[in-house]
Amino acid sequence: MGDVEIHKTVDMKKLKNPTIIMGFPGTGLVGSVAASQLVESLQMTFGGYLSSSDFAPLAAIHDYKPMPAARIHFSEKLNMIVILSEMTIPISSSNEVADRIYEFAKSVNAASIISLGGISLQDEKKGVYVVSSDSNVVKDVIDRKLAKPIKEGATTGVTGILLTKGTLDHFPITTILAESSEEYLDPKAASNVLKVLTQMIGIQINTTRLDKEAAEFAKDIQDAVTKARISKKKGGPQASEGGSMYG
């Protein structure tokens, strides 16, 4: 038996059937970036953290303040809880982390869990997809043309385990997945996920910073590609297949 625990540092009894939003690292770090932006944009209160002897020994530093890398924030006004992690959850801990989150959701009488994440880029337009243990959620999202459904495939880690639990227990657990690059942090994909989330649950989230970062990052990438092409024409150094070059 492992030792994953959720520690609440603040009383959340005023929350009534809250929605839980979850964002963990993955493709393009979409889940972590989106959840962090959600917390910052909505000025949510720190309310607890996750611990385990298997977790990486690190602290996340925000606004000069060290914070647990895996933590909980909440908003009484919006009746919402965010569980986010800025570290990769060890595979060996995934089942137990999912169990603790599910137990926590039940303990606060959560209405649903919505996980944010990324999937490998297939379309240059960066589509957004939805998977849910509740077919009504998928139907609503499709009818409103917010995201595309996934008919066949697989999702792993904590989110995959929670989706299965939701199906077996008839509890609404949904994941919103934005197409993202596997090679680098993708703020645009995080912004795309949040834009779908805002329409699903009816809240306003400022994604301006993410959109700006995405535009700047895209320009940096384009500049790097242009420089590489010029260098190649002049007979300069070239990266080998599968390699990389940083300037």
Biggest CA pair distance of the chain:
67
Question: Is 105:13 a contact under the CB 8 Å cutoff?
Answer: no
Q: How far apart are CA 46 and CA 105, in angstroms?
A: 17
Residue-level pLDDT at 14: 94
pLDDT of residue 121: 65
DSSP three-state, residue 164:
helix
What pLDDT does 236 receive? 43
Buried b / exposed e across 64-81, counting CB within 10 Å, b at 16+? eeeebbbbbbbbeebebb
Topology (CATH) of 5-206: Rossmann fold (3.40.50)
Residues 6+ apart with CB under 8 A from 144: 199
Task: Give the tokens for residue 22.
Answer: 């979850």
Tens-level pLDDT at each residue, the chain (247 residues): 579 999 999 999 999 999 999 999 888 889 999 999 899 889 999 999 999 999 999 999 988 999 999 999 999 999 999 999 999 999 999 999 999 999 999 999 999 999 999 998 666 667 999 999 999 999 999 999 999 999 888 888 999 999 999 999 999 999 999 998 887 788 888 999 999 999 999 988 877 877 777 566 555 545 544 444 444 445 443 333 333 332 2
Main-chain dihedrals φ then ψ at residue 180, nearest 5 degrees: -145, 155
pLDDT at 211: 76
Residue spans of the domains in the chain: they are 5-206, 211-247
**CA dist 14 → 44, 57, 71, 78, 108 (Å):** 15, 33, 19, 11, 10
The CA distance from 142 to 130, in Å, is 9
Predicted pLDDT of residue 81: 98
The predicted structure's pLDDT at residue 156: 85
Considering the entire predicted model, what is its pTM? Answer: 0.85
| Measured distance CA(118)–CA(35) in Å, rounded | 12
The structure tokens 């009816």 sit at: 202
3-state SS record for 93-107: HHHHHHHHHHHHHHH
DSSP state letter for 137: H
Radius of gyration of the chain (CA): 19
